[in-house]
Chains A and B, each alone.
Chain A
Amino acid sequence: MAEPLHALTALGQTIPYTKEIGPYRIIERFDVALASLATRKGRDGEVRAAAAKAGLPLPDPARAASGNPYSAFWVAPDMWMVEADFATHEDIAALLKPLFGEAASITEQTDAWVRFDITAGNLAPLLERLSNVDFPAVPDGYASRTVIEHIGCYLIRRDIGSVVLYGPRSSAKSLFHALEVTARSLL
Protein backbone atom coordinates (compact mmCIF):
# COMPACT_ATOMS: atom_id res chain seq x y z
CA MET A 1 0.00 0.00 0.00
CA ALA A 2 1.25 3.47 -0.79
CA GLU A 3 2.73 5.42 2.04
CA PRO A 4 0.24 8.15 3.09
CA LEU A 5 1.38 11.69 2.53
CA HIS A 6 2.73 13.49 5.56
CA ALA A 7 2.85 17.26 5.94
CA LEU A 8 6.30 18.55 6.85
CA THR A 9 6.76 20.96 9.70
CA ALA A 10 8.02 24.49 9.06
CA LEU A 11 11.55 23.28 9.87
CA GLY A 12 11.20 20.59 7.22
CA GLN A 13 10.89 17.60 9.56
CA THR A 14 8.18 15.00 9.84
CA ILE A 15 7.73 15.71 13.55
CA PRO A 16 7.98 19.05 15.34
CA TYR A 17 11.38 19.89 16.72
CA THR A 18 12.25 20.59 20.34
CA LYS A 19 15.62 21.90 21.41
CA GLU A 20 16.96 22.37 24.89
CA ILE A 21 19.81 24.80 25.39
CA GLY A 22 20.72 25.22 29.06
CA PRO A 23 17.57 26.42 30.79
CA TYR A 24 15.92 27.37 27.48
CA ARG A 25 13.51 25.01 25.80
CA ILE A 26 12.43 25.90 22.24
CA ILE A 27 9.41 23.93 21.09
CA GLU A 28 8.15 24.02 17.51
CA ARG A 29 4.35 23.81 17.57
CA PHE A 30 2.62 21.99 14.75
CA ASP A 31 -0.80 21.56 16.32
CA VAL A 32 -2.32 25.04 16.08
CA ALA A 33 -4.62 26.27 13.33
CA LEU A 34 -4.64 30.01 12.61
CA ALA A 35 -6.93 32.45 10.89
CA SER A 36 -7.09 36.22 10.83
CA LEU A 37 -10.38 37.92 11.57
CA ALA A 38 -11.02 41.52 10.53
CA THR A 39 -14.19 43.42 11.33
CA ARG A 40 -15.86 44.93 8.30
CA LYS A 41 -16.75 48.60 8.41
CA GLY A 42 -19.54 49.38 10.87
CA ARG A 43 -20.08 45.72 11.82
CA ASP A 44 -18.28 45.77 15.16
CA GLY A 45 -21.36 44.96 17.25
CA GLU A 46 -22.30 41.94 15.14
CA VAL A 47 -18.74 40.59 15.24
CA ARG A 48 -18.50 40.91 19.02
CA ALA A 49 -21.87 39.21 19.51
CA ALA A 50 -20.98 36.33 17.16
CA ALA A 51 -17.56 35.93 18.78
CA ALA A 52 -19.03 35.79 22.28
CA LYS A 53 -21.51 33.12 21.13
CA ALA A 54 -18.74 31.04 19.55
CA GLY A 55 -16.42 31.15 22.58
CA LEU A 56 -13.94 33.35 20.75
CA PRO A 57 -12.35 36.12 22.84
CA LEU A 58 -11.57 39.45 21.12
CA PRO A 59 -8.87 40.92 23.38
CA ASP A 60 -8.00 44.59 23.72
CA PRO A 61 -5.08 46.12 21.79
CA ALA A 62 -1.69 44.49 22.49
CA ARG A 63 -3.31 41.60 24.36
CA ALA A 64 -3.90 37.88 23.90
CA ALA A 65 -6.75 35.89 25.43
CA SER A 66 -7.34 32.16 25.73
CA GLY A 67 -10.71 30.55 25.24
CA ASN A 68 -12.37 27.33 24.29
CA PRO A 69 -12.30 26.28 21.49
CA TYR A 70 -10.75 29.49 20.17
CA SER A 71 -7.99 31.74 21.48
CA ALA A 72 -7.01 35.05 19.93
CA PHE A 73 -4.46 37.83 19.97
CA TRP A 74 -4.81 41.41 18.77
CA VAL A 75 -2.83 42.32 15.65
CA ALA A 76 -4.29 45.63 14.44
CA PRO A 77 -7.29 47.90 15.04
CA ASP A 78 -10.40 45.74 14.41
CA MET A 79 -8.26 42.72 13.59
CA TRP A 80 -7.24 39.61 15.49
CA MET A 81 -5.43 36.35 14.87
CA VAL A 82 -7.51 33.38 15.96
CA GLU A 83 -5.91 30.17 17.22
CA ALA A 84 -7.52 26.75 17.61
CA ASP A 85 -6.51 23.13 17.99
CA PHE A 86 -5.36 21.82 14.61
CA ALA A 87 -6.79 18.33 15.18
CA THR A 88 -10.35 19.62 15.48
CA HIS A 89 -10.08 22.87 13.51
CA GLU A 90 -7.78 22.07 10.59
CA ASP A 91 -10.10 23.98 8.24
CA ILE A 92 -10.40 26.91 10.63
CA ALA A 93 -11.38 29.59 8.10
CA ALA A 94 -14.29 27.47 6.81
CA LEU A 95 -15.41 26.88 10.40
CA LEU A 96 -15.27 30.59 11.30
CA LYS A 97 -16.90 32.03 8.18
CA PRO A 98 -20.44 30.77 8.89
CA LEU A 99 -20.23 32.21 12.42
CA PHE A 100 -19.59 35.76 11.16
CA GLY A 101 -21.28 35.80 7.77
CA GLU A 102 -20.69 39.09 5.99
CA ALA A 103 -19.70 40.96 9.17
CA ALA A 104 -16.03 39.95 9.15
CA SER A 105 -13.29 39.01 6.73
CA ILE A 106 -11.57 35.75 7.62
CA THR A 107 -8.36 34.49 6.09
CA GLU A 108 -6.66 31.16 6.60
CA GLN A 109 -3.20 31.71 8.15
CA THR A 110 -2.15 28.29 9.44
CA ASP A 111 0.64 27.55 6.99
CA ALA A 112 1.89 31.14 6.74
CA TRP A 113 3.51 31.01 10.17
CA VAL A 114 5.87 28.97 12.26
CA ARG A 115 5.20 28.88 15.97
CA PHE A 116 7.87 28.47 18.63
CA ASP A 117 7.04 28.23 22.31
CA ILE A 118 10.03 29.08 24.49
CA THR A 119 10.21 28.36 28.17
CA ALA A 120 12.80 28.97 30.87
CA GLY A 121 12.82 30.20 34.46
CA ASN A 122 13.26 33.76 33.23
CA LEU A 123 13.18 34.68 29.55
CA ALA A 124 14.22 38.31 30.01
CA PRO A 125 17.95 37.76 29.24
CA LEU A 126 17.08 35.95 26.00
CA LEU A 127 14.35 38.27 24.76
CA GLU A 128 16.13 41.51 25.60
CA ARG A 129 18.83 40.40 23.16
CA LEU A 130 16.34 39.44 20.46
CA SER A 131 13.62 42.09 20.42
CA ASN A 132 12.82 45.62 21.55
CA VAL A 133 9.82 44.48 23.64
CA ASP A 134 10.49 45.30 27.31
CA PHE A 135 9.67 41.72 28.28
CA PRO A 136 10.03 41.98 32.09
CA ALA A 137 7.90 45.15 32.15
CA VAL A 138 4.96 44.10 29.96
CA PRO A 139 2.09 42.20 31.62
CA ASP A 140 1.21 38.54 31.17
CA GLY A 141 -1.03 38.19 28.13
CA TYR A 142 0.84 40.93 26.25
CA ALA A 143 0.89 40.44 22.47
CA SER A 144 2.79 42.55 19.99
CA ARG A 145 4.38 42.47 16.62
CA THR A 146 8.14 42.87 16.91
CA VAL A 147 11.34 42.32 14.97
CA ILE A 148 13.73 39.48 15.74
CA GLU A 149 16.92 39.43 13.62
CA HIS A 150 15.16 41.47 10.90
CA ILE A 151 12.23 39.02 10.90
CA GLY A 152 8.79 40.42 11.69
CA CYS A 153 7.23 38.23 14.40
CA TYR A 154 4.35 38.16 16.81
CA LEU A 155 5.34 37.80 20.44
CA ILE A 156 2.90 36.71 23.16
CA ARG A 157 3.99 36.74 26.78
CA ARG A 158 2.36 33.97 28.83
CA ASP A 159 4.46 34.78 31.89
CA ILE A 160 8.06 35.73 32.65
CA GLY A 161 9.19 32.19 31.82
CA SER A 162 6.98 31.43 28.84
CA VAL A 163 6.59 33.10 25.46
CA VAL A 164 4.97 32.27 22.14
CA LEU A 165 6.57 33.49 18.91
CA TYR A 166 4.96 33.43 15.49
CA GLY A 167 7.33 34.09 12.62
CA PRO A 168 6.90 33.81 8.87
CA ARG A 169 7.05 30.14 7.92
CA SER A 170 9.36 30.85 4.99
CA SER A 171 11.92 32.21 7.51
CA ALA A 172 11.40 29.41 10.05
CA LYS A 173 14.97 28.14 9.93
CA SER A 174 16.46 31.64 10.15
CA LEU A 175 14.28 32.48 13.13
CA PHE A 176 15.12 29.20 14.83
CA HIS A 177 18.80 29.84 14.18
CA ALA A 178 18.53 33.29 15.80
CA LEU A 179 16.85 31.80 18.87
CA GLU A 180 19.37 28.98 19.12
CA VAL A 181 22.46 31.16 18.72
CA THR A 182 21.21 33.74 21.22
CA ALA A 183 20.28 31.08 23.79
CA ARG A 184 23.70 29.46 23.37
CA SER A 185 25.45 32.78 23.88
CA LEU A 186 23.85 33.02 27.33
CA LEU A 187 25.26 29.76 28.66
Chain B
Amino acid sequence: MIIHHPILGPRDAQEFVYLGDASLINRPDGLTAGVEAFYDYLYNRGNPAGEHRELWYHEQGDRSWLVVTRNTVTHEIIKVELARDVAKAAGRTK
Protein backbone atom coordinates (compact mmCIF):
# COMPACT_ATOMS: atom_id res chain seq x y z
CA MET B 1 0.00 0.00 0.00
CA ILE B 2 1.29 3.46 -0.88
CA ILE B 3 0.42 6.49 1.23
CA HIS B 4 0.71 9.85 -0.53
CA HIS B 5 2.33 11.93 2.18
CA PRO B 6 1.30 15.61 1.84
CA ILE B 7 4.93 16.77 2.13
CA LEU B 8 7.02 13.85 0.94
CA GLY B 9 4.90 12.30 -1.78
CA PRO B 10 4.28 8.57 -2.25
CA ARG B 11 5.76 6.48 0.57
CA ASP B 12 5.53 2.77 1.37
CA ALA B 13 2.98 2.00 4.10
CA GLN B 14 5.70 -0.10 5.83
CA GLU B 15 7.30 3.16 6.94
CA PHE B 16 4.17 4.04 8.92
CA VAL B 17 2.64 2.92 12.18
CA TYR B 18 -1.13 2.70 12.42
CA LEU B 19 -2.80 4.16 15.47
CA GLY B 20 -6.51 3.94 14.76
CA ASP B 21 -9.60 6.09 14.41
CA ALA B 22 -8.82 9.76 13.72
CA SER B 23 -11.53 10.80 16.17
CA LEU B 24 -8.83 10.27 18.82
CA ILE B 25 -7.71 13.82 17.97
CA ASN B 26 -10.91 15.20 19.47
CA ARG B 27 -10.40 14.32 23.12
CA PRO B 28 -13.11 15.85 25.30
CA ASP B 29 -12.15 17.69 28.45
CA GLY B 30 -12.49 15.00 31.11
CA LEU B 31 -13.41 17.56 33.79
CA THR B 32 -16.12 19.52 31.97
CA ALA B 33 -17.51 17.32 29.19
CA GLY B 34 -18.79 14.68 31.57
CA VAL B 35 -17.89 11.06 32.12
CA GLU B 36 -20.17 9.75 29.35
CA ALA B 37 -18.40 11.80 26.68
CA PHE B 38 -15.03 10.63 27.91
CA TYR B 39 -16.18 7.02 28.09
CA ASP B 40 -17.41 7.28 24.53
CA TYR B 41 -14.10 8.81 23.41
CA LEU B 42 -12.05 6.16 25.17
CA TYR B 43 -13.93 2.94 24.37
CA ASN B 44 -16.41 3.35 21.51
CA ARG B 45 -15.28 3.16 17.92
CA GLY B 46 -17.20 2.96 14.66
CA ASN B 47 -16.19 0.05 12.44
CA PRO B 48 -17.42 1.20 9.04
CA ALA B 49 -17.28 -0.91 5.88
CA GLY B 50 -16.33 2.02 3.66
CA GLU B 51 -14.66 5.35 4.27
CA HIS B 52 -12.72 5.56 7.50
CA ARG B 53 -10.49 8.34 8.84
CA GLU B 54 -7.39 6.96 10.47
CA LEU B 55 -4.27 8.20 12.24
CA TRP B 56 -0.98 7.05 10.80
CA TYR B 57 2.47 7.94 12.13
CA HIS B 58 5.40 8.25 9.71
CA GLU B 59 7.86 6.60 12.07
CA GLN B 60 10.53 5.68 9.52
CA GLY B 61 10.17 9.04 7.80
CA ASP B 62 9.56 12.56 8.99
CA ARG B 63 7.76 11.53 12.19
CA SER B 64 4.61 13.38 11.27
CA TRP B 65 1.11 12.28 12.22
CA LEU B 66 -1.25 11.95 9.29
CA VAL B 67 -5.01 11.65 8.95
CA VAL B 68 -5.60 9.13 6.18
CA THR B 69 -9.09 8.72 4.74
CA ARG B 70 -9.25 5.14 3.50
CA ASN B 71 -11.95 2.87 2.15
CA THR B 72 -11.79 -0.22 4.36
CA VAL B 73 -13.52 -2.32 1.66
CA THR B 74 -11.35 -1.45 -1.34
CA HIS B 75 -8.26 -0.15 0.55
CA GLU B 76 -8.37 2.89 -1.70
CA ILE B 77 -6.79 5.93 -0.03
CA ILE B 78 -8.97 8.96 -0.72
CA LYS B 79 -7.22 11.72 1.18
CA VAL B 80 -4.08 12.26 3.26
CA GLU B 81 -3.64 15.30 5.52
CA LEU B 82 -1.22 16.36 8.23
CA ALA B 83 -2.94 15.72 11.55
CA ARG B 84 -1.83 19.11 12.84
CA ASP B 85 -3.63 20.82 9.93
CA VAL B 86 -6.77 18.81 10.69
CA ALA B 87 -6.59 19.76 14.37
CA LYS B 88 -5.96 23.42 13.55
CA ALA B 89 -8.87 23.46 11.08
CA ALA B 90 -11.06 22.09 13.89
CA GLY B 91 -10.10 25.05 16.06
CA ARG B 92 -7.37 23.49 18.17
CA THR B 93 -4.55 25.80 19.20
CA LYS B 94 -2.01 23.15 20.18
Hey, which bits of chain A sit against chain B, CB under 8 A? 61-62, 74-77, 132, 144-147, 152
Q: Tell me how far the C-beta of B66 lies from the nearest C-beta in chain A, rounded to whole angstroms.
A: 11
What residues of A have a CB within 8 angstroms of the CB of B15 in the complex? 132, 147
Q: Given A76-B63, A77-B64, answer yes or no on A144-B82 (Cβ-Cβ < 8 Å).
A: no
Pair A146/B60 contact, Cβ less than 8 Å = yes
Q: A13 to B82: give the CA distance in the assembly, Å.
A: 43
Q: Given the known A-B contacts A77-B7, A77-B82, are A61 and B62 also in contact in the complex, defined by CB atoms under 8 Å?
A: yes
B60 touches A61 (CB 8 A): no
Is the beta-carbon distance between B8 and A144 smaller than 8 angstroms? yes
Q: List 10 A-B contacts (CB under 8 A).
A: A62-B8, A76-B62, A77-B82, A132-B12, A132-B15, A144-B61, A145-B61, A145-B62, A147-B15, A147-B60
Contact A61 B8 (CB under 8 A): yes
With beta carbons under 8 angstroms apart, the residue of B12, B14, B59, B62 that contacts A77 is B62
What's the Cα separation between A17 and B7 when bound, in Å?
36
Q: How far is the CB of A122 from chain B (nearest CB, A)?
A: 23
* Separation of A146 and B61 alpha carbons in the complex (Å): 6
Main secondary structure of the interface of B (DSSP, over half): loop
CB distance from A150 to the nearest CB of B (A): 10
- What's the nearest-Cβ distance from chain B to residue A71, in Å? 19
Further 14 A-B residue pairs, CB within 8 A, beyond A61-B8, A62-B8: A62-B7, A76-B62, A76-B63, A76-B64, A77-B62, A77-B64, A132-B12, A132-B15, A145-B60, A145-B62, A145-B63, A146-B60, A147-B60, A152-B59
Docked pose: A132 CA to B60 CA in angstroms: 11
Number of residues from B at the complex interface, CB < 8 A: 12
Closest Cβ of chain B: how far from A137's Cβ, in Å? 11
Return the CB mask of B67-78 against A: 1 if under 8 Å, else 0.
000000000000
**CB-defined contacts of B7 to chain A, threshold 8 Å:** 61-62, 77
Of chain B, the residue at the smallest CB distance from A75 is B62
CB-defined contacts of A75 to chain B, threshold 8 Å: 62-63
Nearest chain B CB to A32's CB is how many angstroms away?
22
B12 — which chain A residues lie within 8 A by C-beta?
A: 132
Query: 0/1 per residue, B1-21, Cβ < 8 Å to A?
Result: 000000110001011000000
Docked pose: A74 CA to B62 CA in angstroms = 9
Bound Cα distance A132, B8 (Å): 14
Closest to A60 in B: B7
In this complex, the member of B8, B14, B60, B64 whose beta carbon has the largest number of chain A beta carbons within 10 angstroms is: B60
Q: In the assembly, what is the distance between CA of A44 and CA of B20, in Å? A: 31
User: Shortest Cβ distance from B27 into chain A, in angstroms?
Assistant: 20
Cβ of B8: which chain A residues have Cβ within 8 Å of it?
61-62, 144
